[in-house]
Structures are given as structure tokens and as C-alpha cells.
Amino acid sequence: MLAVQQLEAGYGESVILRQVTLQVKPGQVVCLLGRNGVGKTTLMKSIMGVLKARRGTVTYKGDDLTKQPPGQRAKKGIGYVPQGREIFPQLTVFENVLLGLEAVGGKKRRQVIPESAIAKFPVLPAMYDRKGGDLSGGQQQQLAFARALASEPELLLLDEPCEGIQPSIVDDIRDVIRSIKAGGETAILLAEQSLEFVKSVGDYFYILEKGSIAWEGGLSDLNDEVIRHYLTV
């Protein structure tokens, strides 16, 4: 479904990603691990097109997206929940979720938020009239998640969804990811610091180190030696 080949990207003169290659298969939850500052967010931005690739390719369902802007990638079925959520604080909760429909272009454009996007976050409809900036961090994370799901994506990019939120909402997000996985219609690429969290939802794992893929494998391969070598601070 998603294939990243020999990707290089960075900021200004700095090269952050070096020859990164990974893939996400349909229905899979693939987890991206690594210490702080190794390039996980840079990789997510590069896949979404927020950051232009310097070399390499990003291919989705056989289409080369490498030079396409974020809007085109979204219209092809890629949803994105960025690190820091990036909701619009002056818009209402309803308006924020409605913006997720912008990703659905042409004749497929909807005027109504799909029930499936909201059903996973039942607290949101009661907050529809509240400004996004008035919500707690955890509520904003749920809002950003629902906004991404509004377009009913086939691939969902989640960048640090558990960062800075209370344990109860972390549990809710875990349940949502498991529900999406069980449905089998949406693949997920998840960048996350919490090893316990990714092990509870992931099918396959990549570890970034100094901007390159240093290790990859399944859950049974993610043993104490690997964790100690690549992830222990």
C-alpha cells in the first residue's frame, strides 16, 4: 500500500532522513520507534508531503506521490494526525471535524460527517459548539483524530498520538486503533515513544537511529536486547 524507498529529507542545509526505506501493507499497523530527535516526525511530514523529499520516492497504491502536495495525497486516501494536533483553536469542534471532509474531492465530496468518524469519540458531539482552543489536550487529540477519520482514509498517519495526554484518553486511543485494525479497511503508520503502547497495537516495527532505519521486525523480534540497544535512554 505505502512504499517509501531511499528517502532523504531535511531542513535547510541539514539532512535528517538518510535513505529510509519502509512499507505499510493493507490493514497493517506499522509502528515507527526511536529516541527523540531521530527523524520520526520528519518522516511523517515527508510521507504526507508537508516536507519535500530531496531524494527517493513515496509510493501509495502504485502511484508515485513524491512530488505531489499534501492536498493531493489526502484526496488519494491518506489521513494525518500531526504531532501537536494542529487543530484550529478559533473554530468550533464541529467546524474542525468538518474540515476533514476537504480531503474528499470531486464527486466523492461529502457534506455530512460520517458517523464512523464520530462514533469512536462519543464525547465530541456534546462539544460541537465549543471552540477547539477551549478543549483539554486529550480532547484536542480526539478532535484531531476524528478530523482525520472524517475523510474515511485507507492509510492513517499518527504522529505521537499519546504525547502529553492523560492515561484515560491514551486508553481510548488504543481502543480506537484496535477497532480500526479489526475493521481491516485502514492501514496505520504510527510514530510513538511509548513502547508499551505500540506493542499493544502494532503488527510490524521499524526503529530509526540517526535518520536511518536501524532495525525492523515483528513483535516477537522486538526483544529486550533490541530495546536496550536502540531505545533505552
Is 51 inside any structural domain? yes
| Of residues 23, 3, 21, the one with CA closest to residue 204 | 23
* Interatomic CA distance for residues 198 and 209, integer angstroms: 17
Q: Can you spell out the DSSP letters for 133-169?
A: GGS-HHHHHHHHHHHHHTT--SEEEEESTTTT--HHH
Is 173 inside any structural domain? yes
What's residue 119's pLDDT?
87
Is 125 inside any structural domain? no
For residue 38, what is the domain's CATH number?
3.40.50.300
Is 157 inside any structural domain? yes
Domain residue limits at 165: 2-86+153-231
pLDDT along the chain (233 residues), means of 10: 96 94 96 93 96 96 95 93 89 92 61 81 92 92 92 94 89 93 95 94 96 96 93 83
Number of domains observed in the structure of the chain: 1
| Of residues 33, 79, 42, the one with CA closest to residue 201 | 33
Is 114 inside any structural domain? no
Is 24 inside any structural domain? yes
